[in-house]
A and B are shown apart, each in its own frame.
Chain A
Amino acid sequence: MSITEKSAPSKVTDPISIRSRKMPVLLGSLALFSVVVFIVLGPSGTATFRISQPSDVWQVPNLVLPAKAMGVLVSVICVGLAYLAWSQTQKTGKIAKWVVMTFAVVFVVGLMVWIIGGTTTQNITLVGLFTGAMLITTPLVFGSMSGVLSERSGVVNIAIEGQLLAGAFTAALVASITHNAFAGLFAAALAGVLVSLLLALFSIKYVVNQIIVGVVLNVLVSGLTGFLFEKIMKTKVDGVTIYNQPAHLPNLPIPLLSEIPIIGPTLFRQSIIGYFMLILVAALWFGLFRTRWGLRVRAVGEHPKAADTVGINVNRTRVLNVLAGGAVAGVGGAYFTLVAVSSFSKDMTGGLGFIALAALIFGRWNPIGAALAALLFGVAGNLQSILSLAGTPIDGQFLAMLPYALTILAVSGFVGKAMAPAADGEPYIKE
């Protein structure tokens, strides 16, 4: 089963014409939204974006923007671009890519100014926004990379949530027992592989529907970690829960790079897991699209029969990819208990595995796209928690919906067409 229903009637018509009908409608309604909200309902006063912290080596002055004037400017640009998109559709049936991209950037800027201008304090620390976002983004990236690995080879991975949770639990347990964070990290990867092993066993060997296996594995891991948490981690020895006191991975700031405003604190003052994430995304992108291995994986995911014909072992490729994905997600789970917070708690991944799935789809099964989507979702999520303290024109719950709503728009073809690998979810049975 692929992500787009093959026999749906919409598939018969040219996909480009579908996109072109939807996109101007979407941009038009967003432009209308910007006129009404940013101008008519816009706040007066200014919105301040604080870029540098007092302790920074290089001080960058704060960005102070007049909210109303910015609202007018953004709305004018948005309306103009929406009109351009519409006229391009009429003429050529296609919209130039830069139109949509510029629209998205301008709209997000307008939205930020509107939100910050509407808070009681009218300012926000961008460093705090992004470093806080990394707490969400990092596990999201690992989760979506797990998805990239398995779905590019044709196995739907709904079990990301379970892999993350298994990693978080095992990392906490092993790092507590051994007092060694790296042992915890290794064990977490192994736990992720174990979940993947079940996914591979049932979906590839026994050809059980992959979505069913994924859903059930999430319940299984949630139940198992919850049970063991109650039974083992809550056990107190001398009044201390010794099995839930994991050693932590230290932050390793990179000299010079970590002093760059905003980017430095966000990307170059991380733990080893954070740096591994950056390398992983680049390596996966390169591996998938520039190497023989990647070509084979994609062939297996797009057309297993053809891949088999040229001598690629389809099911072995799939098993290996699913297992590798499990290891990656396990490391992402370790981030929860070895870096982000100090101990394991029940169901602590809280649905991030599903947001990782959303990031995967929104990033169109591309490692870099998925990582950027994870960053966007992380910023939205962190903005929500910052704003819940600061009284805003927009309720935090609507920001919380953003990743999910965007994903629905993406799979239904409003934001480009999110196309899964053609054989994603379809078992391959050799004749």
Chain B
Amino acid sequence: MSEPQLPPPGGSLDNKEPGGGAGGAKAPWKTDNESNGSQLMREIISGNAMISVLAVLVALVIGGVLIAVTDQRVVTAFGYFFSDPSATFGAIWASISDAYGALWRGATYDPNSRTWQGRLGIFETLTFATPLILSGLAVTLAFRVGLFNIGAQGQIILGATFAGIVGFMMELPPGIHLAAVVLAGALGGAIWGGIAGFLKAKTGAHEVIVTIMLNYIAISLVLYLLKNQLRDPASSNPISPRMHETAMFPLLLGPNYRVHAGLILAIAAVFVVSWLLNRSTLGFEYRAIGANPRAARTAGMLVSRGYITVMLISGALAGLAGVTQLAGTEKLLDSDVAGSIGFDAITVALLGRSKPWGTFFAALLFGAFKAGGTSMAINADISIDIVAVVQSLIVLFIAAPPLVRSMFRIKEVRREGVSA
């Protein structure tokens, strides 16, 4: 890159990539028709997909090392390492295979579990993935316009709060009630995201700062409401009453599994965002602004309007994630309704390389980590925090392809016919 100022924040995660940069994987108008067979093979071996896979592997290995060195069995066996080295390696293997075995079984299928829920963890994976898909899309969409939506957390909280107000304070006929809950949640998130977009467009206030601050304001706001207007009179804790049954997403696979119709909403959102970004005029404007706001303005696009609308849509998507939390799994509002979803959403979007379907699969993977992490905590006594470690390492490695390449001595793909 000849001019360091050029790459927009979300335009390219790895601005330094020679031959790539802003003109590489992200260039919205570039198609890869010129790829022939051998080019394709090289892409697979050393391209982005391979980097992603390797990043996941390296992160899992580091997580495994952490699990092994903190395992009492390994420490004990290491005490007599020189008299019996195989005992140490055996203990290391046992430690890691116990942990990751439990992770895998918890996220997919566990033949030995006594409960139905435990046996088919894959449905728990889908349940955890649902809000991650929606909030990941929220971050992805904003990324493509060059905006960092760090505020998914706050937007989820606002979405859940609005959804809750409709869901437990109003009585509406079935069907209409759920639709109203969904709309209210989207509205709540859109308002919170829209504030950041509006301030960005009108005053130049940086969206990262504004959205971080809005996250904390949202927490205080919902705590205040839960202590006063929205509080369940029957409870002494700051929690709301339960949602009415008519306001809940129907369960997809009967009462044994938590997976709910919010998943369908999330998948539909992937299609919509994919269409929006790749097929619509608005999406074209978004990608143009993301690639180069100055050029987009010169071309007659209203950059500030783009900032405002994208943050409204992004906020609405995160708000929907709040709806799926409240009307899908949580059933009542408390101040922890967003959990860590808003921050996981950022890592999901990064892992998905800011593409709608990439985000979808990244959300599935992180959902699997969450479902498996819970089972790992119960069955292998490994704190679920290790999942956060692995997830953040994955993102770090993916964001720095040169690091992964140098680890595995992979040569850079040079795309023919593209000048940097």
A residues apposed to B, CB below 8 Å: 1-11, 18, 158, 198, 202, 206-209, 211-213, 215-217, 219-220, 222-232, 304, 351, 354-355, 357-358, 361, 395, 397-398, 400-401, 404-405, 407-408, 411-413, 420, 426-429, 431
Contact = CB atoms under 8 A, between A and B. Distances in A.
B13 interface: yes
A408 B213 contact: yes
Interface string B294-331: 10010000011000000000000000000000000000
Nearest to B292: A7
A427 B4 CA distance: 6
Contact of B204 (A10, A213, A431): A10
Contacts of A220: 388-389, 392-393, 396
Contacts of A228: 70
A202 B396 contact: yes
Interface of A is mostly: helix
Contacts of B350: 212, 216
B231 to A, nearest CB: 13
B150 A431 contact: no
B183 interface: no
B4 A7 contact: no
A209 B9 contact: yes
A427 B11 CA distance: 14
B9 A398 contact: no
B2 A223 contact: no
Contact of B388 (A202, A226, A229, A401): A226
B200 A5 contact: yes
Contact of B4 (A11, A227, A354, A426): A426
Contacts of B5: 6, 426
A215 B213 CA distance: 14
Given A8-B204, A227-B66, A217 B9 contact: no
A407 B13 CA distance: 27
Nearest to A411: B205
B206 A401 contact: no
B87 interface: no
Given A9-B304, A211-B9, A395 B399 contact: no
B210 interface: yes
A411 B4 contact: no
Top 8 closest pairs, chain A to chain B, by CB: A223-B388, A226-B385, A230-B383, A404-B213, A206-B400, A8-B204, A220-B392, A412-B205
Contacts of B199: 408, 411-412
A224 B391 CA distance: 11
Q: Which of B203, B212, B297 has the most CB of A within 10 A?
A: B203
A412 B386 CA distance: 38
A429 B202 contact: no
Contacts of A395: 224, 227-228
Contacts of B27: none
B220 A401 contact: yes
Given A7-B293, A7-B294, A413-B205, A206 B403 contact: yes
Interface string B171-204: 0000000000000000000000000000111111
Contacts of A224: 66, 385, 389
Interface of B: 1-2, 4-5, 8-10, 13-16, 66, 70, 148, 150, 199-206, 208-210, 212-214, 216-217, 220-221, 223-224, 227-228, 293-294, 297, 303-304, 343, 346-347, 350, 383, 385-389, 391-393, 395-396, 399-400, 402-403
A226 B385 CA distance: 6
12 contacts: A6-B5, A7-B297, A10-B204, A206-B400, A219-B388, A220-B392, A222-B385, A231-B383, A395-B227, A401-B221, A412-B199, A412-B210
Nearest to B394: A216
Nearest to B346: A215
Given A209-B15, A220-B388, 12 more contacts: A1-B8, A8-B204, A202-B400, A211-B9, A213-B399, A223-B386, A223-B388, A224-B66, A227-B383, A408-B213, A412-B199, A412-B210
Given A206-B16, A220-B388, A227-B389, A404 B208 contact: no
A198 B393 CA distance: 11
Contact of A407 (B9, B209, B402): B209
Contacts of A207: 14-16
Contact of B396 (A2, A11, A216, A398): A216
A315 B204 CA distance: 28
A209 B399 contact: yes
A230 B400 CA distance: 30
B206 A3 contact: yes
Contacts of B209: 3, 357-358, 361, 407-408, 411
Contacts of B343: 215, 219
B204 A208 contact: no
Given A219-B388, A223-B388, A401-B221, A5 B204 contact: yes
A291 to B, nearest CB: 27
Contacts of A397: 220-221, 223-224, 227
Contacts of B15: 207, 209, 427
A213 to B, nearest CB: 7
B369 to A, nearest CB: 11
Nearest to A5: B204
Contacts of A225: 385
Contacts of B214: 404, 408
A103 to B, nearest CB: 21
A337 B116 CA distance: 44
B392 A223 contact: yes
Contacts of A6: 5
A10 B202 contact: yes
A208 B13 contact: yes
A395 to B, nearest CB: 5
A215 B224 contact: no
A386 to B, nearest CB: 17
Contacts of A212: 13, 346, 350, 395, 399
A358 B204 contact: no
A3 B200 CA distance: 10
A413 B294 CA distance: 23
A248 B388 CA distance: 31
Nearest to B14: A208
Contacts of B1: 429
Contact of B395 (A216, A226, A426): A216
A412 B389 contact: no
A418 to B, nearest CB: 9
Contact of A211 (B204, B208, B393): B208
B216 A404 contact: yes
B145 to A, nearest CB: 12
